[in-house]
Structure 1
Amino acid sequence: MPTYNLKAIGVVPGAKDFIDIVLSKTQRGTPTVVHNGWAIQRIRQFYMRKVKFTQQNWNEKLSQILDEFPKVEDIHPFYADLLNVLYDKDHYKLALGQLNTARNLLDRVAQDYVRLLKYGDSLYRCKELKRAALGRMCTLMKRQGPSLAYLEQVRQHMSRLPAIDPNTRTLLLCGYPNVGKSSMMNKLTRAEVEVQPYAFTTKSLYVGHTDYKYLRWQVIDTPGILDRPLEERNTIEMQSITALAHLRAAVLYLVDVSERCGYSMAQQAALFHSIKPLFANKPVLIVANKIDVRKMEDLSAEDKQLLDGMVEEAKRISNGGAAAVAGDAGDEEVLLAMSTLSDEGVMEVKQAACDRLLNFRVEMKVAGKRISDVLNKIHVAQPKPRQGVAAGSRPPVIPAGVAEARARRAGGEVKKTERDLQEENGGAGVYSADLRKVYQLANPEWKYDIMPEIMDGHNVLDFVDPDIEAKLAELEREEAELEAAAEAAGGGEDMEDEDEEGLTEEQAADLKAIRARKKVLISEHRSKKNSHRNQAVMPAKLANARGRTSDAMQRSLGALGIDASKAAERARSQSRGRKRERSASKAPSGADEDVDMEGGEKKKRVHSSKSRSMSRGRSHSLAEPRAGSGLKDVAQRNKGIKMADRAQWRMNKMAKVGESDRVIQTKMPKHLFSGKTPGHGTRNRR
């Protein structure tokens, strides 16, 4: 039985789009130029090719649609009934049948007009036959517009259906609306099903997955079912009926014992008994939900009787299935209680349902006919009892040496192993082995000494003072005493007076001026620090406008008795730039001397014998080679620059930026773009 990926079905275009797609492909995929001077056989072949190409495109497109849509007879009965419920099986098959008929008619039309084109006697007649053929094909496809639109709607809805595997391990949640199926689904899986306090919030099947015993389980949340005849149920309810009828799953019938769902216990019991034929050959569990509102002990006698009736019926159904093979289905617990609000009992329900389903699937395989093929390949060897020895009467034998060693170890005579210590001290994961006890040192007392931590060649422990806390406390106590003594003596002014003792009048005046200036600088700095974000940054060229000149520096330092003339002279020399050596005595040999008259004085300009042009001077650097570049002097560096320029000149000659550049030298080669070739057709590649 093939499985279908409903999400992989391609888009079904509308009739108009379908025609545009096929005719456009015909125009692009076949020759477009025909001449009246050609031989009539060549003209016939030209138009026959267009008709056949169009018919082939129609056939491929329609065959793809028919193959991708699932066939009702070939898929699992669950999907077949679901298609019937959602889309009406007759309408669905009728739409696919119309497309199949249209495909056959298109093939017949193309065949008829190709036969007529074989006898076309002129270009005009062949062209009209081609137009008639394509026109009839388009008319046929226009009539399939409603079928194509219907199939596109079906495809869109199918792509949104959940991927349900009918053959895997499945838990199926069913019951009246608003009894807590979606809430339980959210607790068991990571699916986020909408939960609302009103009926029919869930309108379709929802699928989630959970893990139990290293196996993946499928959990299906079904819409609520009402207790009424089958022919009166709507599409939403019929989805649940279809899942119950065809899926081999563990059925969890949820009962709202609080009756807050809007339905009484009698109504829920009646629904269970009305749909119990759908539970045949399936493990069934009765799950009492919302016990946080109403405890099981608080149920009335009538409600308990209704629950007991459902439990007995569930056991009877389970005994009628494959569980009867083992004979223990009646002993298993069928009635379970939980609360999805407080999570009480939810995991217990999951475990019970999964265990029931696992046992059910195993028993079904054992009861089936295929198990004999497997059992024939399995041989279980059974040892035969020896003569004089009764079966099961042989106790375990421990060698005497092993028993003696165990006794001595238990008494402390033998050194205990690490395994013994581990078992005595909490077991694996709790016990931590002591590795220091096996250290072999000169003095065994050193085994548990603190190991030195070495940093920068020094032992960190040598710089650790164990009494640091006491010493810090002593220092703080001394500072507190000194501060108390200073306050008792009259504050900080006396301290300043002590500093001024032994100074002359001039020194005292200077000290007072320095302190005043210090206060001014501190206040200016604090004001700038607080308001610097609101001030514009002054460029360096405006420094003179702010008084930051060499003369101002000289005056301020001169007032303090510091000679700043040399600093000002150095600043002036640096601001003028590098000064050339203009002494004639230092000129190199072979240099020429030019004499200019300026202000009655002679100035000599020394020109290097190594003159360079402007362009070469730009490419060559006057700086020394960078360290690590492998060039020992400026000459080698200039030589390298010349070699690089020469290599790039070759690239430029080939119109390339670099060696890896891809360039097309001739945009339109004449041998590809020059007219017809005499006697051998044309250069037209279409």
Structure 2
Amino acid sequence: MVQYNFKKITVVPNGKDFIDIILSRTQRQTPTVVHKGYKINRLRQFYMRKVKYTQTNFHEKLSTIIEEFPRLDQIHPFYGDLLHVLYNKDHYKLALGQVNTARNLISKIAKDYVKLLKYGDSLYRCKCLKVAALGRMCTVLKRITPSLAYLEQIRQHMARLPSIDPNTRTVLICGYPNVGKSSFMNKVTRADVDVQPYAFTTKSLFVGHTDYKYLRYQVIDTPGILDRPFEDRNIIEMCSITALAHLRAAVLFFLDISGSCGYTIAQQAALFHSIKSLFMNKPLVIVCNKTDLMPMENISEDDKKLIDEMKAEAMKTAMGASEEAVLLKMSTLTEEGVMSRLLDQRVEAKMKSKKINDHLNRFHVAIPKPRDNIERPHSIPQVVLEAKAKEAAEKEKRKTEKDLEEENGGAGILDGHNVADFLDPDILLRLEELEREEAIRQADGEEEDFEMDGEELTDEQKEQLAKIRNKKAVLIREHRLKKTVAQNRSTVPRKFDKDNKYTTKRMGRELSSLGLDPSAAVDRARSKSRGRKRDRSEDAMDVDDEQEGNKKMRVRSKSRSMPPAHEVVPGDGFKDSTQKKAALKISNSSHKKRDKNARRGEADRVIPTLRPKHLFSGKRGKGKTDRR
């Protein structure tokens, strides 16, 4: 189980939010009303309670911050040095020390003002002391606002740190930048470390886990290290140095024998010798990577000598291990020999311990005796082989559109040709020619013959169609003028139409000029303008029936305009009417007590006068006692 989990540290609010949280809690959790009849002792207790409660809240919040942030002297040296590299332990301790000092000052302020409140002689004096106490507490907290902001930034960064267990089986990968460390990490674990063909892609520690023979291994990918003095190394390189110095792990030192990383084998060997003091008492494996680009047989004699020197140093560190276990030749496509070597190291450590005899007494290894000399090789059924092949085929990565695009030559390539080859360079000139031809056709076709539905019109029909089109154009222009900002107003009622522009006579004249019969349109307009009148010949019974019908119509229209309270309307957020009824019932019962106390809402804290003057003053005469 991981011992250090920095993701659980509580959020550190800034100074202003801190004060708002504490003061609003004090206002909500303590009494807020003082009555005239309170004795001085009760007034003192009232304000002392506020000061003590505020101090307690400040103390709890600040204590949570101090306790949850790790103390660099009490945690594992790896995390202590890592936090020092990332944040500078002097600034870190100073910020926590200021928070601790503020906590003590607030406690002292509360203690002093509670002592003064014990001897407050009036309501005004007690209130002033309470305000002064809370004000001084808030002033102390405002002074540590920069420290709180610094601690919050550290908390956010620490939450992103990997959860590394320093006490478990660990594999540590190190070497120059761009030698294949992250690629190997992705092969042996499920970690998804970014891999790019340039240096310092990995800028922090990455952790992955892998299983080998029922044992869990923690694999740590470190950023690349350059061969330069200790003082010149940056924070990214110091993370790797810290992990190498403090973690008890099997170290894999990666060598890029192809030179594609940008560094020669001599430079990588120099780095190995400069940091070999960090490999003491740790299993060390030298991994010659990228053998697919440069086989070991093709490297020069000088480089072979350098690798042999590194191998000799590794054998000394690994306490006499074999050459095959110390030097691995691999590409990131293979995993040969790495995990088996780690298991061998663990078995050797167990065998050298003093508890080996206790363990051996518990084991019994049974070796069966052969019954004959016949060889019986293992046989795998064909069905199993087919199933395994089918499973491997299904695991193949399905090709995406991007893969197909890369196969065809990349972006901008279509069927082996560049998309730019299909563009016509004279397209703008041709577009101008088309526009000129269109303008000539429009000029020639201004007096073209009118045709409708493929039939030529007579002269009279052409004249009427021209008038209609002209009239339509005039109406469109007038409408557009009305829609401007200056004239965008509602239609003027007819009773204010003094010019009588819109009358039935005018409509009749215009329809007659168009050759249409206006009588039907005029009659319809007049019937709509008159409205409905009641027939005076109806008797009283008919009148009552009509009123009852109108009443039913009004009720029906009202019910249509406003649905019942329990009916679900889209957007209410209820599943059905039953759920809405239950919610309304709970809502009504929730404010019943508030309504009974004549409260306006949940925030109404007004306390009415308990003894109204008109009821409790003056002399009472006979017969006046009933109103009390």
Q: Normalising to structure 1: TM-score of the pair? A: 0.54
Distance 1:317 1:154 in 2: 38
Q: CA deviation at 1:358?
A: 2.5
CA contact (8 A) 1:174 1:253 kept: yes
Distance 1:246 1:361, change over 3 A: farther
Alignment-derived partner of residue 354 in structure 1: 342
* 1:384-403 mapped onto 2 (5 Å cutoff): none
Distance 1:305 1:425 in 2: 44
Q: CA deviation at 1:183?
A: 1.2
1:673 aligns with 2:611: no
Distance 1:358 1:248 in 2: 12
Alignment-derived partner of residue 285 in structure 2: 285
Alignment-derived partner of residue 27 in structure 2: 27
Amino acid at match of 2:347: N
Amino acid at match of 2:342: C
SS in 2 for 1:333: helix
Amino acid at match of 1:81: D
Equivalent residue pairs, number: 406
Distance 2:265 2:124 in 1: 84
Alignment-derived partner of residue 94 in structure 1: 94
Alignment-derived partner of residue 260 in structure 1: 260
Distance 1:76 1:226 in 2: 26
CA contact (8 A) 2:2 2:163 kept: no
CA contact (8 A) 1:109 1:133 kept: yes
Deviations 1:611-652 (A, max 9, x none): xxxxxxxxxxxxxxxxxxxxxxxxxxxxxxxxxxxxxxxxxx
Distance 1:308 1:128 in 2: 83
Q: CA deviation at 1:376?
A: 6.1
Distance 1:185 1:670, change over 3 A: closer
Distance 2:74 2:22 in 1: 31
1:334 aligns with 2:326: yes
**Which structure has the larger Rg?**
1
Q: CA deviation at 1:351?
A: 2.4
Alignment-derived partner of residue 104 in structure 2: 104
Distance 1:313 1:50, change over 3 A: same
Alignment-derived partner of residue 184 in structure 2: 184
CA contact (8 A) 1:211 1:217 kept: yes
Q: CA deviation at 1:217?
A: 1.5
* 1:146-185 mapped onto 2 (5 Å cutoff): 146-185=146-185
CA contact (8 A) 1:283 1:360 kept: no
Amino acid at match of 2:350: V
Distance 1:285 1:129, change over 3 A: same
Distance 1:428 1:244 in 2: 45
Amino acid at match of 1:195: V
Alignment-derived partner of residue 552 in structure 2: none
Alignment-derived partner of residue 269 in structure 1: 269
Amino acid at match of 1:184: F
SS in 1 for 2:70: coil
Distance 1:239 1:49 in 2: 50
SS in 2 for 1:347: coil
Alignment-derived partner of residue 551 in structure 2: none
Distance 1:28 1:357, change over 3 A: farther
CA contact (8 A) 2:311 2:323 kept: no
- CA-atom RMSD, angstroms? 3.6
Alignment-derived partner of residue 492 in structure 1: none
Distance 2:123 2:311 in 1: 85
Q: CA deviation at 1:671?
A: 11
Alignment-derived partner of residue 434 in structure 2: none
1:6 aligns with 2:23: no
Distance 1:105 1:360, change over 3 A: farther
Distance 1:426 1:58, change over 3 A: closer
Q: CA deviation at 1:664?
A: 6.3
1:54 aligns with 2:54: yes
Q: CA deviation at 1:248?
A: 1.1
Distance 1:670 1:159 in 2: 46
CA contact (8 A) 2:325 2:341 kept: no
Point out the more displaced range, 170-179 or 51-60. Answer: 170-179
CA contact (8 A) 1:283 1:356 kept: no
Distance 1:47 1:15 in 2: 24
Point out the more displaced range, 668-677 or 202-211. Answer: 668-677
Distance 2:102 2:586 in 1: 53
Distance 1:86 1:117, change over 3 A: same
Distance 1:360 1:96, change over 3 A: farther
* 1:633-672 mapped onto 2 (5 Å cutoff): 668=592
CA contact (8 A) 2:2 2:165 kept: no
Deviations 1:210-245 (A, max 9, x none): 221122211111111111111111101000000001
Amino acid at match of 2:128: E
Alignment-derived partner of residue 225 in structure 1: 225
Distance 1:120 1:12 in 2: 36
Q: Percent identity?
A: 61
SS in 2 for 1:56: helix
Distance 2:338 2:382 in 1: 33
Point out the more displaced range, 257-266 or 124-133. Answer: 257-266
Q: Normalising to structure 2: TM-score of the pair? A: 0.59
Distance 1:272 1:195 in 2: 23
Amino acid at match of 1:232: D
Distance 1:376 1:101, change over 3 A: same
Amino acid at match of 2:268: Q
Distance 1:93 1:216 in 2: 36
Deviations 1:467-511 (A, max 9, x none): xxxxxxxxxxxxxxxxxxxxxxxxxxxxxxxxxxxxxxxxxxxxx
Deviations 1:65-124 (A, max 9, x none): 111111111111110000000000111111111111111111011000000000000000
Distance 1:317 1:397 in 2: 43
Q: CA deviation at 1:333?
A: 2.4
Stretches of structure 2 lacking an aligned partner (at least 5 in a row): 385-579, 599-606, 612-628
Alignment-derived partner of residue 622 in structure 1: none
Amino acid at match of 2:338: K
CA contact (8 A) 1:265 1:303 kept: yes
CA contact (8 A) 2:204 2:222 kept: yes
Alignment-derived partner of residue 82 in structure 2: 82
CA contact (8 A) 1:117 1:129 kept: yes
Q: CA deviation at 1:195?
A: 1.4
Amino acid at match of 1:668: K
Distance 1:5 1:296, change over 3 A: same
CA contact (8 A) 1:6 1:159 kept: yes
Q: CA deviation at 1:661?
A: 8.1
CA contact (8 A) 2:4 2:163 kept: no
* 1:93-132 mapped onto 2 (5 Å cutoff): 93-132=93-132
SS in 2 for 1:192: coil
Stretches of structure 1 lacking an aligned partner (at least 5 in a row): 320-327, 383-394, 399-405, 411-422, 433-655, 680-686
Distance 1:666 1:301 in 2: 89
Distance 1:381 1:57, change over 3 A: closer
Alignment-derived partner of residue 305 in structure 1: 305
Deviations 1:167-219 (A, max 9, x none): 11111111111111111111112222111221111111111122211222111
Runs of 4+ in structure 1 deviating by more than 3 angstroms, as ranges, are: 374-382, 395-398, 423-432, 660-672, 674-679
Distance 1:165 1:667 in 2: 55
CA contact (8 A) 1:249 1:357 kept: no
Distance 1:224 1:426, change over 3 A: closer
SS in 2 for 1:278: helix
CA contact (8 A) 1:250 1:356 kept: no
Deviations 1:30-66 (A, max 9, x none): 1110124310000000000000000000000001111
Distance 1:312 1:426, change over 3 A: closer
CA contact (8 A) 1:254 1:288 kept: yes
